[in-house]
Amino acid sequence: MKQFKPINPFDLIFPKICLNCGIRINSDEKFLCNNCFSSLHYFSENYCEICGGLKEENSCRICETNDFLFDKARSAYQLNSTLSKLIHSFKYEEMTSLGKFMAIQTAEFVRKYNPFEKVDFITPVPLHTVKTRIRGFNQAEVLSAEIGKNLNIRHLSNLVLRKRFTETQTKLSRKNRIKNVSNAFGLNKKYNIKRKNILIIDDVFTTGSTVNAICSTLKNSGADKVFVLTIARA
Amino acid sequence: MKKFPSAMLPITFSWIVGILLASVLSIPFWIVIFTIVALITLSFVKNIRNIVIILSFFFLAFFRVNVSQFVQTNHIKNLLTVKTDIQQPIKGRIVSEVNFNGKRNFAELELIEIKGLPVQGKISFSFDDNLQYGDIIETIAFLQKYNNSSNPFSFDYAEFLEFKKIYGKGYPKTEIKIIESERSLLKIGVINVRSWLRNRINERFGEYSGFIRAILIGEKQDLSDWKQKLNQAGLSHILAVSGLHVGILSLVFFLILKIIFRNRYLSRILLILILLFYAAICGWTPSVTRAVIMISLYLISKMIQRKPNSNSILATSLFIITIFDPKQLFSIGLQLSFTAVFILLNILPQIRYIKLKRDEIILLSFGKKILNGILTLMFSSAIISICLAPVTMYYFHQFNLNGILANLIAIPLISLILPLSIVIIILPSFVAVYYIFSFKIVMQFFNFWSNLSASLPLHFDFLRFNSWQFFISLILLISFPIIKNFKKRKLTLTLYTLFFVNIAFSFINLEKDVFKITFFDCDVGDMFLIEADNSQKMLIDTGPPEFSKKHFKYSALGYFQKKGISEIDYIIITHAHNDHYGGLEYILINMKVKNLVMTDDFQKRGIWNYLKKFVTKDTNIITVNDVMNISTKDYQCQIIHPDKNYFHGNINNMSIVIHLDFDELQVLFTGDIEEEGEEYLLHNYCMELDADILKIGHHGSKTSSTSEFIEKVSPDYAFIPTSMKNKFAFPHKITLQKYDFLGKNLFIAGIDGALQVSSDGKSAVFKTFKSKRIVYASELN
């Protein structure tokens, strides 16, 4: 006979459900049922060494058409319907605990495949103050803090600052995205990043224009190597 | 329990079934407690734990109902049952806000002592002094029970107040002495904020203040014509402070809180507190409580970062409300509110044959998008009003489809009016002035729109819907979302058809009625309804005038609605006194009258000039200037008075006297004739006077009922339409003595309430509605 476990009243009223398929999940499962969780695979094959995108016939078309300033970008997963639901819940329904969960998975990915060399600082893609207040938090900061804690890297939440308010990237074309974010970022003078390796964290890597803009700011200030790590690769 | 979307669903279900059964059955307390203990012990066995937990909630419901039904012996409810009038020194504490009803102040008084002995329970107390919430007072007071309803199916005010835990009324006989004050800070806050809001609304909204008070703080006293109008327009849901209002309110407040506080946790907790306070201001009515609890649970789910399940939240809020007061389950407001949300969550998403999916909508052109939106809204409100029909038809005997069109404009308008009125209340007056202007324009449009919608033809009244139909429809409603999971199309369709047929049945009257005469209790006033086999309905007189407590609306309307009588074949107005034609105006406006019978004398009176305006051309007017016969399929009515030769200056003596024959049953309705009229009848129509049942003339006045007349009529049963305490001192003692020979077969409205005689022509059953007597007459002669 199992030991009598006290019932959590919250479990009665708000039962844990799988965020993808909606069925009830057991207490040992987190956010997803085992079935949906197993549909997520680390993005560890067929990726481009530089931009981390899907490689077609040994060449990366994205890298050929862009001139990325960062040294290496990697994503833990490829974006699929399950993952986009998770990220949506995390960003727009204030489920920061879900963000932490995904950050832990991403940290595990880094530990497993060790894609980057020595990293000195870990920093999130900044969000404008107004937007942070509207959304309640900066999703990248939640991720980077958790990843930094897990990988034992110093986390600088305010290394990069957003100088002006930019439109949301999600609704713009690639060309406009680059225009949108150029000159949007500045550096916090408090930190010295000369000859340091920096890891930038974001939730989704789509065209890379945001991180590229940050990267140019960092490199101009003397950073040695800049890496990009995201949960998902679109 | 994994099969259910949430464990709260089966738990709430068994809890609700428990409450329902517990209010019908009574199981001894010790058995309930014993079962609960046994079930708790059993819950340690793992295999059956889930069933045991669900079962134990069933018995916990029994326990809860038993606790709430437990009344102490020194409770005022018991005291007033033993002795109806109490005049004693009392001590009590005012536990509610003191309000002014135009004549006196009144408030709820929690009794502490009567004559030095401890007492429990609340009464409604009216007084002239300047008292405040929390005052503990001492005075000699007169306490009385509220009257239970004395007419069939009429609104029971005493029961209604008992629901609110008020068991009687009282007023002081001597000066009130305030001993001390005992106030709770929270309640003082609620009362002060409410009265501040009320003053502010009265100050700023002018003619619309009554309406705004209703939709913002749930005070519905000053609604007058709005209520009727919105009801006809199918917009009465706007008047109930519910999800829409609380939703808009919490959006506004959450926005403000988000701007002030960075911490979302804090702003959510503050918002929950604000909402609870708001529910307290609205007096915890079921619909606002439901909305507040549901939104609070949603906010909590956000705080603990779980995806909320709306059905689970709905069930939980029902559970919470019934824990605090299991009786609330039977309140109409709660049933309406929960059924509406249930339909919204479960049935509406199921029937979306014409509803497009989101990605399909994006592809539409702008015009089509608007059209789609309009169709969806119309479709939704049609489904909601049809699925809510069991509740509205059972309680209000009404069914409304005007809302389909009315809601299209009214809901956007009300979503404009609500935030606007909040803004007007909050802002300082010199800024608010500008908003008031735009508010008035919106309100005028709203007023225009609701007038227009009220004139649409799809409002059905006087529908018959019995409790079985109600029960079956509710079960069907609950089963719809469940059968969805079986994926059986035929079964689903059958059940839906059943549901619609069940509702459609109310539009056709299939039930056959036995011959029935209902003598309504309208204090000093006549109103008698004769029904036979569904088609022949005759109403003799229409009771007292509008201002009286037992006007047609409050005494007989309930019966007409419940029985689905919207059409009266004959209305006979005996004479031109307002205790006889009082309800005629209301009836002519709201119901269909085929024939209106009155004397030529009546038509000479000024009142007829007024009432004439309400007579439509569908109504045939029959003028009585001589003896005449009104024959229907089942019964004969002889009008034997006044004949063409009779005239008397006293209107009473010009009353129509009716002799009714139904097989062996003979009834004499004498109107208000006095001695002179009786004498004339004795001399001229002696043969037509004999009757089994006599409606005693002129409310039992000593000016009628002469001994010779009584002897001639020789009734076996008689009814006096009068209250026991009135300014005329009806019924007079001398008259009562004359009818002493009838013994228990004399019925007086003031004592027995309404009287209903059902007969098959050979025998009759007499049933009274206040004294609850049943008398059988096995043989009529």
Q: DSSP secondary-structure letter at B337?
A: H
What residues of A are in contact with residue B301 (Cβ under 8 Å)?
13-14
Query: CB-CB: which of A1, A11, A13 is closest to B316?
Result: A13
- In this structure, how many other beta carbons lie within 10 angstroms of the beta carbon of residue B646? 17
Which residue type, as a one-letter code, is found at position B74? Answer: N
What residues of B are in contact with residue A13 (Cβ under 8 Å)?
6, 8, 297, 301, 312-313, 316
In this structure, which long-range contacts are made by residues B599-606, counting pairs with CB atoms below 8 Å and at least 24 apart in sequence?
B599/B575, B599/B623, B599/B624, B599/B625, B599/B642, B599/B654, B599/B656, B600/B624, B600/B625, B601/B575, B601/B576, B601/B642, B601/B651, B601/B654, B602/B573, B602/B575, B602/B576, B602/B654, B605/B576
Please report the pLDDT score of residue B6 as a whole number.
84
Cβ B307–A89 below 8 Å, yes or no? yes
Interface ipTM above 0.90: no
Please report the pLDDT score of residue A221 as a whole number.
86
Please report the pLDDT score of residue A94 as a whole number.
87
Please report the pLDDT score of residue B352 as a whole number.
62
Q: Tell me the C-alpha distance between B322 and B325, whole Å.
A: 5
Please report the pLDDT score of residue B408 as a whole number.
92
Please report the pLDDT score of residue A173 as a whole number.
75
The token pair that represents B303 in the structure block: 């705080």
Cβ B7–A17 below 8 Å, yes or no? no
Which residue type, as a one-letter code, is found at position B617? Answer: K
Res. A60: pLDDT tops 60:
yes
The token pair that represents B174 in the structure block: 């001597």
Q: Does residue A28 sit at the B interface (CB-CB below 8 Å)?
A: no
Give the SS3 label for residue B488.
Answer: coil
All residues at 6 or more sequence positions from B617 whose CB lies less than 8 Å from its CB, including other chains: none
Greater confidence (B131 vs A164) lies with B131
Q: Tell me the C-alpha distance between B389 and B194, whole Å.
A: 34
All residues at 6 or more sequence positions from B128 whose CB lies less than 8 Å from its CB, including other chains: B104, B105
| Beta-ladder partners of B528 | B519, B540
Greater confidence (A92 vs B351) lies with A92
What residues of B are in contact with residue A94 (Cβ under 8 Å)?
264, 302, 305
pTM: 0.88
Phi, psi of B610 (to 5 degrees): -75, -50
pLDDT averaged over every residue in chain A = 86
For chain A, percent of residues with pLDDT exceeding 70:
94
Q: Does residue A5 sit at the B interface (CB-CB below 8 Å)?
A: no
Cβ A14–B5 below 8 Å, yes or no? no
Res. A91: pLDDT tops 50:
yes
Which residue type, as a one-letter code, is found at position B727? Answer: K
Please report the pLDDT score of residue A1 as a whole number.
41
The residue among B263, B293, B306 with the most chain A CBs within 10 A of its CB, best to mutate, is: B306
CA dihedral B546, B548, B551, B554 (to 10 degrees): 120
Q: How does pLDDT run across B551-600, given as a tens digit for each residue?
A: 999 999 999 988 888 889 999 999 999 999 999 999 999 899 999 999 99
Min distance A100 CA to chain B CA atoms (Å): 12
Query: CB-CB: which of B8, B258, B259 is closest to A13?
Result: B8
What residues of A are in contact with residue B312 (Cβ under 8 Å)?
13-15
Res. A3: pLDDT tops 60:
no
Q: Does residue B56 sit at the A interface (CB-CB below 8 Å)?
A: no
Please report the pLDDT score of residue B102 as a whole number.
83
Q: How does pLDDT run across A185-204, given as a tens digit for each residue?
A: 888 888 888 888 999 999 99
Cβ B307–A98 below 8 Å, yes or no? no
Q: Does residue A15 sit at the B interface (CB-CB below 8 Å)?
A: yes
Q: How does pLDDT run across B493-541, given as a tens digit for each residue?
A: 888 888 988 888 887 766 667 899 999 999 899 999 999 876 689 999 9
Please report the pLDDT score of residue B300 as a whole number.
94
Query: CB-CB: which of B5, B46, B264 is closest to A1?
Result: B46
Interfacial B residues in 307-336 facing A (CB < 8 Å): 307-309, 312-313, 316
Enumerate residue ranges in chain B where pLDDT < 70.
1-2, 352-359, 509-512, 534-535, 781
Cβ B312–A15 below 8 Å, yes or no? yes
Cβ A24–B2 below 8 Å, yes or no? yes
What residues of A are in contact with residue B259 (Cβ under 8 Å)?
133
Please report the pLDDT score of residue A54 as a whole number.
83
- What share of residues in chain B are helix, strand, coil (percent, to 5)? 50, 20, 30
Q: Does residue B306 sit at the A interface (CB-CB below 8 Å)?
A: yes
